[in-house]
Structure 1
């Protein structure tokens, strides 16, 4: 009886304590953005289809509004659907939403170095230096334009070797785009048959596919456990070790021939900066940041731009009338005696509109590159804690009927006014916006225009499928949009 009399007050006290905690948590949750009710420990893991994560996040926006939240285990993620809300977050509150989230794979591989997955002073210095160096070596200037023009001619020569046969252009496009990056960071281009170059591209392509797969999202939830189990991470870490060794050899070779009065490329500029700050104990200019920066430049610049080119050709094969009209504009403005130049773009509104529409329709990075809050904030009336991962759903912006009349249809008229001039749209942000906008935007836009116009100037392209059988929807089950496999044949115009 005494035990019973003692137990009842304890039981009441415990229940009161638990109810109080539940009420407080419920109260806190009510100030968070809306979303599916999370389960203890698991959050919404059982409710999310990771194989179709893009559509899942779009549906969250449809059901809960432009600002929604999910819980993946203990991690909170905010999903932003639509241009207005992304603009408000990344421009009007850009300082708060300017961080990158802490992701397991980049942390384990890059160990907090480089310019893409870092924050604070390190990120600011690496980004400022990289932008400045790219500009000095021709970002948006004549010198880099000439490098792209040269590579377009080399690509054309490789295509001519394959005349009369059907072939997959994926590798050739990757080689061409990667060579442009090589000219900036290594001051050299490689022959398309160079085996070391081919091996490195294979490593980077395989690495990119792994880190953009649904598996990467799952690994991030329990890295300390999964890293000890067999899985894609084993291949991933081996690939990065090989890439790092390759890049380090290039750096060491540059050190032996460095002339501080005449820097040749990005590596030279970084090494000069290292020497200038060698007595600064807090300097960010060191070997690790240099190596990781080079890897980031290769991965980001090669895969996305080569994918855009490959997708562009598939769409042009799907719509031969559009292709013919682009070629007519090329013939009228450029002719066949010289290579296309960036100046030509201003006189070629239809071609410019087609390229804009290709980038809008293909929507290569539908989830956007995730950001993170660097402090607690209130956004549209919701409490968003510091360190929360934020996905700007670029796909909901590029496919928004408010800004594009037929968002699910490929239509260059989205970027043409009634007079046939190029019409800009504020919602055209394939490279994102704000403080973390893609630093390679200028280079990518240059490459896509110069490569495409050169190929259409010189060649007639045919597909191994009938026009009506060409499927321009992206490959399923990926966090990035890549075209379905196809083959082409070329003949000289």
Structure 2
């Protein structure tokens, strides 16, 4: 509010530039995407990745080749297709069985939900899923939680797989957990969601019917807006001197796109601090895909796994609401 949508902030010994509204982020990351798609060097990450992987490497021909490799490989394993839908649906069945072992008693879903989401990555990377109590799987999940995971001998492939696990597990898991928490705190929303799910799908599931489920789509889009998982996105860096909104930003400047500000802009959202799925529906009750919801960022470096993540969130949420009612722990203080 005080300094406008382009603001410099001292971070340690560096001056970062924060892009603080939708138009400025679009101008930088999309219109001038080549100039704003670098990655700053972060010592701890450089030490772990040794300059490999895809998430944190700089914007150059090597990154472009790795990006194309990732997109083509994910498509080859069925991401966005029925085969991937079947894999995720199968995993949800195992998750449901794990939930049922608690016999309706209150419990923390984080661990088994994280296992389920990680198993989708395992099915792509390793060609198989793991039982949640499998010792090798628990070792992988433990290493992932500590930020250290080894599976393979080739360094570039190892770091690529690590990026898939790191970026593809915690984000989707947290999105589903926030969804469940919002259902617990908004029981009338949970009933609306369940009513639409059963009216359209019954007890079965089909991703292709998503277009017939406007309230479910609105609920998910509101989750993405209401709880921005990476508020300042993954930092970018200018590859050359760049000009934006009347400012000149020198080459090598760290850029932080403020996604939280976009999702909470009072000029765009009525009562942005409130959870209201209905804001994503038109007067006729139809779902409206709003451009100001950008949880996966925009531009050349938008999330590689966006399509997989959107499919996972939809299938997990719908399947869980089909099978269970989510209530607060009656013993919680």
TM-score by length of 1: 0.66
Which residue of 1 is the match for residue 76 of structure 2? 136
Q: CA deviation at 1:375?
A: 0.6
Q: CA deviation at 1:402?
A: 2.3
> Are the equivalent residues in 2 in contact too, given 1:66–1:82 (CA < 8 A)?
yes
For the residues of structure 1 that align with 2:7 and 2:210, how far apart are their CA atoms? 40
**Cα distance, 1:442–1:466 mapped onto 2, change above 3 Å:** farther
Q: Deviations over 1:354-411 (max 9, x none)?
A: 1111111111111111110001122222221111100000000011122222211100
Query: Where does the alignment leave 5 or more consecutive residues of structure 2 unmatched?
Result: none
For the residues of structure 2 that align with 1:432 and 1:324, how far apart are their CA atoms? 31
The farther-off stretch of 427-436 and 191-200 is 191-200
> Are the equivalent residues in 2 in contact too, given 1:316–1:322 (CA < 8 A)?
yes
2:166 to 277, 292, 299: 299
The farther-off stretch of 187-196 and 292-301 is 187-196
> Are the equivalent residues in 1 in contact too, given 2:115–2:132 (CA < 8 A)?
yes
- Residue 319 of structure 2 is aligned to residue 460 of structure 1: no
Matches within 5 A, 1:141-160: 141-160=81-100
Q: CA deviation at 1:74?
A: 3.4
Aligned residues: 332
> Are the equivalent residues in 1 in contact too, given 2:27–2:244 (CA < 8 A)?
no
> Which has the bigger relative contact order, CA under 8 A and spacing at least 6?
2
Which residue of 1 is the match for residue 192 of structure 2? 325
2:57 to 103, 118, 131: 118
Q: CA deviation at 1:302?
A: 0.5
2:211 to 326, 330, 346: 346
Q: CA deviation at 1:73?
A: 4.1
Q: CA deviation at 1:205?
A: 2.2
1:205 to 129, 145, 150: 145
**Cα distance, 1:399–1:466 mapped onto 2, change above 3 Å:** farther
For the residues of structure 1 that align with 2:8 and 2:100, how far apart are their CA atoms? 52
Describe the SS at the equivalent of 2:146. Answer: helix
Q: CA deviation at 1:466?
A: 8.6
Query: Where does the alignment leave 5 or more consecutive residues of structure 1 unmatched?
Result: 1-61, 208-239, 252-286, 470-493
> Are the equivalent residues in 2 in contact too, given 1:205–1:303 (CA < 8 A)?
no
Matches within 5 A, 1:35-434: 62-119=1-58, 120-207=60-147, 240=148, 243-244=149-150, 247-248=151-152, 287-336=154-203, 338=204, 340-434=205-299
**RMSD of aligned residue pairs (Cα, Å):** 1.5
Which residue of 1 is the match for residue 307 of structure 2? 442
For the residues of structure 2 that align with 1:363 and 1:182, how far apart are their CA atoms? 26
Q: CA deviation at 1:164?
A: 3.1
Q: CA deviation at 1:345?
A: 1.0
For the residues of structure 2 that align with 1:70 and 1:311, how far apart are their CA atoms? 30
> Are the equivalent residues in 2 in contact too, given 1:115–1:122 (CA < 8 A)?
no
For the residues of structure 2 that align with 1:201 and 1:397, how far apart are their CA atoms? 33
For the residues of structure 2 that align with 1:379 and 1:132, how far apart are their CA atoms? 33
Q: CA deviation at 1:465?
A: 4.9
> Are the equivalent residues in 2 in contact too, given 1:403–1:425 (CA < 8 A)?
no
For the residues of structure 2 that align with 1:129 and 1:78, how far apart are their CA atoms? 31
> Are the equivalent residues in 2 in contact too, given 1:359–1:430 (CA < 8 A)?
yes
Q: CA deviation at 1:199?
A: 2.7
Structure showing greater radius of gyration is 1
**Cα distance, 1:465–1:394 mapped onto 2, change above 3 Å:** farther
> Are the equivalent residues in 1 in contact too, given 2:113–2:173 (CA < 8 A)?
yes
> Which structure shows the bigger proportion of residues in helix conformation?
1
For the residues of structure 1 that align with 2:29 and 2:282, how far apart are their CA atoms? 29
For the residues of structure 2 that align with 1:187 and 1:127, how far apart are their CA atoms? 21
Q: Deviations over 1:230-258 (max 9, x none)?
A: xxxxxxxxxx2xx12xx12xx6xxxxxxx
For the residues of structure 2 that align with 1:305 and 1:350, how far apart are their CA atoms? 20
Q: CA deviation at 1:175?
A: 0.4
For the residues of structure 1 that align with 2:331 and 2:239, how far apart are their CA atoms? 51
